[in-house]
Amino acid sequence: MRFLLLTSTFTLFFLAPITALPDGADSPPDWTQWRGPNRDGQIGGPVWPERLDAEHLELLWRVPLGPSYSGPIVSDQFVFTTETKDKKSEVVLALDRKTGEQRWRTEWEGAMTVPFFAASNGSWIRSTPAYDGKNLFVAGMRDVLVCLNADTGAESWRVDFVQQFDTPLPAFGFVCSPLVDEDAVYVQAGASVVKLDKATGDVLWRALDDGGGMFGSAFSSPILADLAGTRQLLVQTREQLVGIDPMTGSVHWRQKVPAFRGMNILTPVVVGDAVFTSSYRNKSWLYRVTADATDYQVETAWSNNVQGYMSTPVVIEGHAYMHLQNRRFACIDLESGERTWTSQPFGKYASLIAQGHRILALDAGGRLLLIHATPEEFQLIDEVELSEDSTWAHLAVSGHELFVRQLGAITAYRWMDAEKK
């Protein structure tokens, strides 16, 4: 590994308070789903070190694998990951968290080829699984959802949405990352939004049938949030942002979100009773959601010319820190809609995790960045090149450890000075 140290920005670390667990607190939550334990890109736990050089970041293990975009899922014992094998089948693996040794492996036929204009980003599995402590919910490219026993890899149930709903195969595969809440699993699949019984895979309701095909089937992933005093399932389709009653599947409200060729990709971010989103080759918006005795209302609080792409922002003290279509980072004041700064270009994509006033950003070129989150200016504390291979999968952090899914491997790292924090 080649480590890069930016000493001129190192002192910025001391300017920001850090949120961490107090001494004697319970262990931090595992990395159980897309964007972490709370699905918001925020993580507590041990304080991150102030440097990313070899004295502070230790490589624990590396396991070569076939290609995948799935972010790692981390429990106290296992690291779960996926791969596409020989362009024919999909594989799910459980690796020992301490050593990287394989504990189980499950495989099924299910690969597919994406359209030619998307082929440069590969045709391998895209969705990040979800873990509920007992089961692992894995989405295969050919619009299937599989429930596996997390201890053994044995299949509990499988739903083939193309077969069940007689819908076309999604042109870009199953992209949404499953959301598990209580006894249910929510997915944007089968050219629609679906709630399933997580114990059986039975469909509880289906909403927002978009017809599927080239311009249907969502790229975004659902979240649950309280908006206008009501618990809602928030989904972003290729054309609109929608609030749904999670119990019944009925639609509370809709808001059109313009995007080039329906490329609404990032996961919407809830801030109070408002929703922030941004789309490819278009704009960014903050939509306020209100309700009266009879109906919900949505109004555009502001819009600006910031163009998001695939990266979902993290929100820190009323500001959204995001990675843009033009490969730059930007900070948006969510009250006013003002862009307060824009950085120099980095990789084509970056996954973001925040702790206090610091952000870890893993860009698509294999660089890990440590950023001081301030609305005043872009401040890079340190950076390290972790991989010569591309790193499109979402970074995972759990306790003292980081997990990076490269295109051809998965690697585990440990903060070297974690015990001193």
Q: CATH for 221-308, among 3.90.110.10, 2.120.10.30, 2.40.10.480, 1.10.3720.10?
A: 2.40.10.480
Q: Is the pTM of this model over 0.85?
A: yes
User: Is residue 293 over pLDDT 90?
Assistant: no
Of 1-15, 74-88, 114-128, which range is least confident? Answer: 1-15
For residue 335, count other CB atoms closer than 10 A to its CB.
Answer: 13
> Which pLDDT does position 27 carry in this prediction?
56
> Which pLDDT does position 95 carry in this prediction?
98
Of 12-16, 83-87, 289-293, which range is least confident? Answer: 12-16
How do residues 330-387 score in pLDDT, each as one tens digit? Answer: 999 999 999 999 999 999 999 999 999 999 999 999 999 999 999 999 999 999 999 9
Q: Which amino acid is at 241?
A: L
How do residues 301-340 score in pLDDT, each as one tens digit? Answer: 999 999 999 999 999 999 999 999 999 999 999 999 999 9
If pLDDT is split at 50, 70 and 90, which confidence band does 403 have? very high
User: Is residue 9 over pLDDT 80?
Assistant: no
> Which pLDDT does position 260 carry in this prediction?
86
User: Is residue 421 over pLDDT 60?
Assistant: no
pLDDT: is 266 or 28 the higher one? 266
Which fold would CATH assign to domain 1-78+310-421?
Lipocalin (2.40.128)
> Which pLDDT does position 12 carry in this prediction?
33
Of 35-44, 205-214, 365-374, which range is least confident? Answer: 205-214
User: Is residue 46 over pLDDT 50?
Assistant: yes
> Which pLDDT does position 217 carry in this prediction?
79
> Which pLDDT does position 256 carry in this prediction?
95
List the domain boundaries for the chain: 1-78+310-421, 221-308
How do residues 113-148 score in pLDDT, each as one tens digit? Answer: 888 777 777 889 999 999 999 999 999 999 999 999
Q: What are phi and psi of 12, to 5 degrees?
A: -65, -25
Q: What is the rounded average pLDDT for all residues in the chain?
A: 90
User: Is residue 23 over pLDDT 50?
Assistant: no
User: Is residue 10 over pLDDT 50?
Assistant: no
> Which pLDDT does position 20 carry in this prediction?
45
User: Is residue 94 over pLDDT 90?
Assistant: yes
